[in-house]
Amino acid sequence: MNAHSSIITDADERAFLDAIDKWIEKKVRPVAMELEHGDIWPADLVDDMAELGLFGAIIDPEYGGLGLSATTYSRIVMRIAEEWMSLTGIFNSHLMMATVVQRFGTRKQKDYWLPRFVTGEMRGGLGLTEPDAGTDLQAIRTVAARDGSDYVVTGTKTWISNAIMGHCCALLVKTDPEAQPRHKGMSMLIVSKIDPETKAPLPGVSNGKKLEKLGYKGIDSGEFIFDGYRCDAELSLVGGEEGKGFAMATGGLEIGRVNIAARSVGIAKRALRESVAYAQTRKTMGKPIAEHQAIQLKLGDMAARTRAAELLVEDAARAFDAGGRVDMEAGMAKYFASETAVDVATEAMRIHGGYGYSKEYVIERLYRDAPLMCIGEGTNEMQRIIIAKQLVARNKI
């Protein structure tokens, strides 16, 4: 899937972004601090996001989705992340799963799953990471064995967003554990812990524990444990063909990296905004600290890097909308924007001094949330390798 099938006009986009802004101000801002500090699942806000259409944001209109471009989508993510980054993870992880189905699924799979994804009645994420396999996806051990018209799945996935409060996931499995090279034995299944029609719990799958985190509170990160779990091959094996899962996983990560980059920009923008305001009210030596050169140097650097990150996100989103391979553009945006979020949040804490370390101010939350951006959807070390490889591949001599 590419989101260039968008049917909304510039005026539609402005109206939608305005609706998002009003929702953030009216519903998110009053509760974000309390829910984040309590690590509380934001049930009412999730219902709001479903009503706004965010769970179908980049799903094609023929399935009931909004069909937004990646450019518009990234702007929505930036806005929400400025107020509370965790919310963006709830619908982004879900949309990565939906992207896999929309881009690679059979007609029957699209007709079955996508309308349920759009409404949010079936929410989920991407089931890639395992206790012993993160960036090296080919090292996964979860196995799906064919048994008649079913697959029988055994294995454990971890660090899955929406694992506990969600219902399903796009699951990367080994259908041929002996295949060489390893990626040729990997397939993608859509699996659910409830029956999509009756909503009754299904046997053979459990959630394990909710994982405690430094930041990124409110959203549930958890485990999926499969023990003889059965699923219908026709509905579950994405694309109807084994051995294509690795490419599907990396394809789903492209929009995820644009999202992570956009989230990073939201964090950096909020940290900068808070710092500019605070520097004008806090006084030392008889004048606002904004008039001290040491603070001005920090603000100047923070502003320039935040804007540069925003432009890289726009660049990656436009490339995604144009179709084709965007791992270099998405990697550049994700790498630079996430490092910027960490640096800007850290400088914001220094500008705020002791207040930046206080839970009464938003700075400490930004400081805790930012580092995840450097890790999620592929480490920044891996991004730089991807960028370099694509740079060489696109500039052969």
Question: Pick the catalytic residue: 212, 347, 377, 381?
Answer: 377
What was the pLDDT predicted at 7?
A: 62
Separation CA 33–CA 368 (nearest Å):
13
> Is cis: bond before 181, omega within 30 of 0?
yes
Mean pLDDT by 10 residues, the chain (397 residues): 57 93 98 97 98 97 96 97 98 96 97 98 95 85 97 96 96 96 95 96 94 96 96 98 93 89 98 98 96 98 98 97 91 98 98 96 98 94 96 96
What was the pLDDT predicted at 53?
A: 97
What was the pLDDT predicted at 196?
A: 94
Tell me the angle at which helices 43-52 and 70-104 cross, rounded to the nearest 10 degrees.
90
What was the pLDDT predicted at 1?
A: 40
**Which one, of 76, 68, 69, 70, lies nearest residue 49 by Cα?**
76
**Which one, of 132, 33, 38, 13, lies nearest residue 85 by Cα?**
33
Separation CA 248–CA 234 (nearest Å):
17
CB 338 within 8 A of CB 370: yes
CB 237 within 8 A of CB 170: no
- Structure tokens given for 254: 């492209």
- Structure tokens given for 73: 């989508």
What was the pLDDT predicted at 141?
A: 94
* DSSP output for 18-51: HHHHHHIIIIITTTHHHHHHHT---HHHHHHHHH
Separation CA 321–CA 60 (nearest Å):
13
Active site residue 377: yes
- Structure tokens given for 48: 């709001």
